[in-house]
Amino acid sequence: MTTLSVGQYLDLVNQSLRVIPPDILVEGEVSDFRVAQNKWISFDLKDEKAQAVLKCFMTTWQLKVQIEDGMRVRVSGYSKVYERFGTLKLNVQDIEPVGEGALKRAYELLKKKLADEGLFDLARKRDLPRFPERVGLITSRDAAAYGDFLQILNNRWGGVDVQFAHVHVQGREAVGEIVGALAHFNVLSEGDRPDVLVLTRGGGGLEDLHAFNDEQVARAVYASKIPVVCGVGHERDESLCDYVADSRASTPSNAAERVVPSREEVKYEIENMVSHVDGQLEDAILGREQIIERATNAFEKIFQRQKDRLVHLRETLSLKTDKWLPWFRERVNDVERLLRQVDPTRVLARGYSIVKVGGKVVRGVASLEVGSEIAVQFAAGSADARVCRINGRGQQRFV
């Protein structure tokens, strides 16, 4: 018989416990989940049917998924009896939710945590370059996503330099490889760095998509200096990387559509710009023509006004002439009538005669001498005569 102290005995127990292979997984339901000082995690793992409890212990940095009470999990690690409390505890090395319900719950919890931290903020999303020259593609060469992406890329656009990083998109290596590939592109010098990164894979259940829902991968996408497009699975599928990425594509093909424009659209746009500029230039020329036309019109108006004035003047003038002419005619008639009245031939016709000496009309006797010759003009004919007496004096009158 050997006698041991309690401590010695517990050491022996602990040594015996190491015989248990480390790859054994223990499955149960989480209860009494606690975090102390943001560092130490403790919870009970229970069987629902048999009333069995396994006390578990781990640190926060070991915990890569979100755990809460009621969740079904599988844990691995090694057990130890803690001397001070005399209790057996499982030191958890790895823990993973089991079943779609638990995975979904873990996913929701992590999603909320990252959202609260601001990893999904729309304000931090960067615009993708419209015409990328270099694209970093992160996916598996064996996945349909690889072929789909490149096919759509070729259909839409050409001349892109695709740098392809082959990674596992599921399984144990996936997280490390994806994080490594993101790091590879980000440490390149600015000149060699791709313009955009594409992280893509086909669809699947939560278990298949675990790498795209991994906190480490999500944080690496968040930290990327190069804009990231994430495209996972089919239309309905979503992953945490989708939310963190700058652009979220619904499928690998859609990722290609987001990364490059379509030739046809760009061609149409170029043609539109040219015809727009062409139209603008034509408008400018038309504008000049209109100015010239307006000036011509203005000159024409001035000429027309002058012409109108001339016509008006002429009209006014002829109107005045019309008034003046009858008046003038009347005056002429008056004078004519007057002249006609004083016409000496008419006086003679009435029996008067005109006496002239040396061609001059005699108006009185002063210019006459007795015996001088005078000419007498009658209405019909004329006669020469001699003056016998002037006012009764002169030659004797013959009786």
Partner 1 sequence: MPKKPPSFAQSFQELEDITAWFDSQENVDLDQGLKKFERGLELAGQLKKKLSEVENKVEEIKKKFAE
- Residues forming contacts to partner 1 in the complex (CB under 8 A) are 129-131, 133, 137, 141, 150, 153-154, 157-167, 173, 175-181, 184, 263, 266-267, 270-271, 273-274, 276-278, 280-281, 283-285, 287-288
3-state secondary structure 200-213: EECCCCCCCCHHHH
Give the nearest distance from C-beta 88 to partner 1 in angstroms. 33
Q: Measured between alpha carbons, how far is 387 from 364 in angstroms, rounded to an integer?
A: 13
Q: Is 337 helix (H, G, I), strand (E, B) or coil?
A: helix
Q: Which is nearer to partner 1, 126 or 184 (CB)?
A: 184
Angle of helix 215-223 relative to helix 99-117, nearest 10 degrees, comes to 30
CA geometry: angle at 371 spanning 370 and 375, to 5°?
100
Residue with tokens 């030659």: 395
Give the nearest distance from C-beta 159 to partner 1 in angstroms. 4
Which of 155, 187, 86, 394 lies closest to 165, judged by CA? 187
Q: Which is nearer to partner 1, 56 or 249 (CB)?
A: 249
Cα 130 versus chain centre, distance: 16
Give the nearest distance from C-beta 165 to partner 1 in angstroms. 5
Residue with tokens 């804009």: 227
Give the nearest distance from C-beta 212 to partner 1 in angstroms. 16
Longest CA pairwise span in the chain (Å): 237
Q: Which is nearer to partner 1, 77 or 136 (CB)?
A: 136
3-state secondary structure 70-130: CCEEEEEEEEEEECCCCEEEEEEEEEEECHHHHHHHHHHHHHHHHHHHCCCCHHHCCCCCC
Q: Which two tokens stand for residue 86?
A: 């005399």
Q: Which is nearer to partner 1, 283 or 330 (CB)?
A: 283
Give the nearest distance from C-beta 223 to partner 1 in angstroms. 14
Q: Which is nearer to partner 1, 11 or 94 (CB)?
A: 94
Strands 87-97 and 134-139: unpaired
Q: Measured between alpha carbons, how far is 224 from 242 in angstroms, rounded to an integer?
A: 14
Q: Is 33 helix (H, G, I), strand (E, B) or coil?
A: strand
Q: Which is nearer to partner 1, 102 or 259 (CB)?
A: 259
Residue 78: count of CB within 10 angstroms of its CB: 16
Give the nearest distance from C-beta 229 to partner 1 in angstroms. 16
Q: Measured between alpha carbons, how far is 237 from 258 in angstroms, rounded to an integer?
A: 17
Q: Which is nearer to partner 1, 270 or 390 (CB)?
A: 270
Give the nearest distance from C-beta 28 to partner 1 in angstroms. 30
Give the nearest distance from C-beta 202 to partner 1 in angstroms. 19
Q: Is 214 helix (H, G, I), strand (E, B) or coil?
A: coil
Give the nearest distance from C-beta 188 to partner 1 in angstroms. 10
Q: Which two tokens stand for residue 389?
A: 């007496």
Give the nearest distance from C-beta 180 to partner 1 in angstroms. 3
Task: Indicate the helix (H) or strand (E) that contains 59.
Answer: strand 53-59
Q: Which is nearer to partner 1, 167 or 229 (CB)?
A: 167
Give the nearest distance from C-beta 182 to partner 1 in angstroms. 9
CA dihedral for 80, 82, 87, 90, sign (positive or negative): negative
Q: Which is nearer to partner 1, 120 or 146 (CB)?
A: 146
Q: Which is nearer to partner 1, 141 or 389 (CB)?
A: 141
> Any alpha helices (H) in 118-249, and if so which ranges?
144-156, 174-187, 215-223, 240-244
Q: Which is nearer to partner 1, 28 or 231 (CB)?
A: 231
